[in-house]
Structure 1
């Protein structure tokens, strides 16, 4: 069973139901094998800068200090696996920074089944929340009482006129 988080674009982006995004939970294989392309594809600019800084730092450290080259290689490999584990979490973080709102969670054997189960619930909830035509008529607002003509301050909760 695969689990996805469901995200809605920021307000004012047209019909948001067409642009709802499903982000898978768990390990991301493309982020392991082609992390830079994966980050560019998803337009995760801040995460890309962080990834470049760490990767470049590890590469420079491995070249400058040959005594720790093996340790830096292991650290680089561990960083790649850690990044693939956290890639979708970072994607959700990037979406949140761009104003996307998380709608919920969907699960299914594959993405198509998760989408179907989510949209069944989503559309049922939208229909239930829609205002009915038999609702009470809209009443005009109640007018505010006229201001007091006395200049004396009012003391107490229920002042009596004198």
Structure 2
């Protein structure tokens, strides 16, 4: 089971925001580890691509300047690649936050498609039909989306909210 973070655009209405929902998988990403430049370009993570380029230049420069063996050079490259594999979700979160998205919820699923089904099945028709969102600085403002949020979501089912049933 994988944990996915659900990011929605801040400026859009709820119905339009749901169409642009982005699911970011938490944890190690093999694509970011094995194919770092392709992974970064596909996701428009130019900062990550720049970091990878600098890392390659540092490893190549050290190998050339200090006549490091090819095995050691490969090990140095794998250290950087594993850092990208481990920190891929943080790089994507940073990019989405700068692009105007906000973390709205979490979803569990064996795949991204399963996580989408879990998240969208928690929405009610009221949340989908709401044409506008009131400004967040309005006194008494409440979140009009009925989707589970990070604060209210019960991921494991171990901690039910509300009064105990007798």
Q: What's the TM-score, normalizing by structure 1?
A: 0.69
Report if aligned partners of 2:45, 2:92 keep a CA contact under 8 Å in 1: yes
Partner of 1:55: 56
Q: Does 1:3 align with 2:3?
A: yes
- Per-residue Cα deviation, 1:27-52 (whole angstroms, up to 9, x for no partner): 11111221111101100112211221
Q: Map residues 100-119 of structure 1 onto 2, 5 A cutoff.
A: 100-119=101-120
Unmatched tracts of structure 2, length 5 or more: 132-166
Q: Map residues 75-90 of structure 1 onto 2, 5 A cutoff.
A: 75-90=76-91
**d(CA) in 2 for partners of 1:78, 1:46:** 18
RMSD: 2.8
**d(CA) in 1 for partners of 2:73, 2:116:** 42
Secondary structure class of the residue paired with 1:103: strand
Bigger CA drift: 115-124 or 89-98? 115-124
The structure with the larger Rg is: 1
**d(CA) in 1 for partners of 2:53, 2:11:** 32
Partner of 1:152: none
Q: 1:119 to 1:74 in 2, by over 3 A?
A: same
Please state how far the C-alpha of 1:26 moved relative to its aligned partner.
Answer: 1.0
Report if aligned partners of 1:63, 1:69 keep a CA contact under 8 Å in 2: no
Report if aligned partners of 2:62, 2:68 keep a CA contact under 8 Å in 1: no
Q: Does 1:26 align with 2:27?
A: yes
- Per-residue Cα deviation, 1:62-90 (whole angstroms, up to 9, x for no partner): 11211476544322211111211111221
Unmatched tracts of structure 1, length 5 or more: 131-162
Secondary structure class of the residue paired with 1:54: helix
Q: What's the TM-score, normalizing by structure 2?
A: 0.68
Secondary structure class of the residue paired with 2:28: coil
Secondary structure class of the residue paired with 2:123: helix
**d(CA) in 2 for partners of 1:111, 1:36:** 22
Secondary structure class of the residue paired with 1:112: helix
Q: Which runs of 4+ in 1 moved over 3 A?
A: 67-73, 122-125
Q: 1:10 to 1:47 in 2, by over 3 A?
A: farther
